[in-house]
Amino acid sequence: MFENLSERLSGVFDRLTKQGALSEEDVKTALREVRVALLEADVSLPVVRKFVKDVQAKATGQAVTKSVTPGQQVVKIVHDELVEVLKGEGDPGALKIDNPPAPILMVGLQGSGKTTTTAKIAKRLTEREGKKVLMASLDVNRPAAMEQLQILGNQVGVDTLPIVKGETPVQIAKRARTQASLGGYDVYFLDTAGRLHIDQELIQQAADVRDVVEPRETLLVVDGLTGQVAVEVAEEFDDKIGVSGVALTRMDGDGRGGAALSMRAVTGKPIRFVGTGEKVDALEEFDPERIAGRILG
Ligand code: GDP
């Protein structure tokens, strides 16, 4: 079992001489524990290396305040640095949806929680911001996925584009745009198809849709329990389609959410939402403080 990082560090510092400032040796010793904690939280190795190096430089020579132990001091420095790396600019939950109808493209691997997250965000916009929202599934190969969005739409009280067989994703996207304009919708979500692994054909399909509708936001949905894979997925989707924000799902699970740090550090993309369960209300705005605490265990 993972012990609390502060406790681990107190143990380490008990063996060190108490000085007025953190020496390079003190910090190095403490950061060995931090490194293990980050790796256990599934942060990718290159990100751990860079993070530890940055903290080393910041912490060395810092005066230890009387009220805290050197261990607590290092934990605070590490925590603050984590929050700094994790946080994006502005309000994570504020989507760019002025100038209606605003298209939002949802992308990600199959099983990441894309369809569920689409419905969750649509519900949030409807209930909290009073927006009129339309959702459309572009998954022409999986009728079950289209039906799933329809069922979720009924559940959350958000309209879905009627299903028409035999259309291409671009045709569906255009129909959604027309319906959104004519129906006075503020926002329309396009839930693209995904496969279990990165698939160039589907990525191209989403890129074609992007070119036609010019989405105001392209949200990548990633399973927060997949550490290194999450980073690869984010890099690939951002490279080929261009991503404006990330929704991390399954943050209700046992994982410690290291994927959040890896993705943010590698792609620079802001994390906007966190999925915390299967239910349609289980969505939170991303909170860097909370994730930092969780990563540190
Ligand atoms: P898609 O293939 O990417 O569209 O994935 P789905 O939206 O169909 O989700 C796949 C499964 O993951 C479903 O059983 C969802 O209920 C579940 N799921 C989605 N988001 C979360 C989440 O944040 N936490 C948990 N525990 N399950 C989730």
SS (H, E, C) the chain: CCCCHHHHHHHHHHCCCCCCECCHHHHHHHHHHHHHHHHHCCCCHHHHHHHHHHHHHHHCCCECCCCCCHHHHHHHHHHHHHHHHHCCCCCCCCCCCCCCCEEEEEEECCCCCHHHHHHHHHHHHHHHHCCCEEEEECCCCCHHHHHHHHHHHHHHCCEECCCCCCCCHHHHHHHHHHHHHHCCCCEEEEECCCCCCCCHHHHHHHHHHHHHHCCCEEEEEEECCCHHHHHHHHHHHHHHCCCCEEEEECCCCCCCCHHHHHHHHHHCCCEEEEECCCCCCCEEECCHHHHHHHHHC
* pLDDT, position 229: 85
Joined together, the tokens standing for residue 224 give: 């927060």
Does residue 120 line the site of ligand 1, with CB under 6 A? no
Ligand 1 atom 15 nearest Cα: 278
* pLDDT, position 2: 41
Confidence bin at 8 (pLDDT 50/70/90): low
Ligand 1 atom 20 nearest Cα: 113
Q: Which atom of ligand 1 is nearest to the CA of 221?
A: 3
* pLDDT, position 102: 98
- CA of residue 202 to ligand 1 center, whole Å: 20
* pLDDT, position 18: 57
- CA of residue 266 to ligand 1 center, whole Å: 24
- CA of residue 42 to ligand 1 center, whole Å: 20
The per-residue pLDDT for range 135-178, each reduced to its tens digit, is 999 999 999 999 999 999 999 999 999 999 999 999 999 999 99
In terms of pLDDT, which residue wins out, 184 or 93?
184
**Measured torsion, CA atoms of residues 83, 235, 98, 164, in degrees rounded to the nearest 10:** -130
The per-residue pLDDT for range 229-266, each reduced to its tens digit, is 888 999 999 999 999 999 999 998 877 788 899 989 88
In terms of pLDDT, which residue wins out, 208 or 3?
208
The per-residue pLDDT for range 269-286, each reduced to its tens digit, is 999 999 999 999 999 999
Q: Which residue has the tokens 């590698």?
A: 266
Does residue 277 line the site of ligand 1, with CB under 6 A? yes
Determine contact, residues 81/51, Cβ cutoff 8 Å: yes
Query: What number is the average pLDDT over the span 5-27?
Result: 66
Confidence bin at 91 (pLDDT 50/70/90): confident
Does residue 275 line the site of ligand 1, with CB under 6 A? yes
Does residue 226 line the site of ligand 1, with CB under 6 A? no
* pLDDT, position 1: 35
Could you give the CA distance from residue 28 to residue 19 in angstroms, rounded to a whole number? Answer: 15
- CA of residue 51 to ligand 1 center, whole Å: 31
Confidence bin at 40 (pLDDT 50/70/90): confident
Could you give the CA distance from residue 145 to residue 137 in angstroms, rounded to a whole number? Answer: 7
Annotated binding site for GTP: 108-115, 191-195, 249-252
Does residue 250 line the site of ligand 1, with CB under 6 A? yes
- CA of residue 181 to ligand 1 center, whole Å: 30
Confidence bin at 4 (pLDDT 50/70/90): low
Ligand 1 atom 5 nearest Cα: 113
Determine contact, residues 134/157, Cβ cutoff 8 Å: no
Q: Which residue has the tokens 């409807």?
A: 126
Confidence bin at 108 (pLDDT 50/70/90): very high
The per-residue pLDDT for range 75-87, each reduced to its tens digit, is 888 899 999 999 9
Q: Pairing relation of β-strands 271-275 and 283-285? A: antiparallel
Could you give the CA distance from residue 190 to residue 149 in angstroms, rounded to a whole number? Answer: 11
- CA of residue 275 to ligand 1 center, whole Å: 9
Does residue 218 line the site of ligand 1, with CB under 6 A? no
- Statement: residue 125 has pLDDT above 60: yes
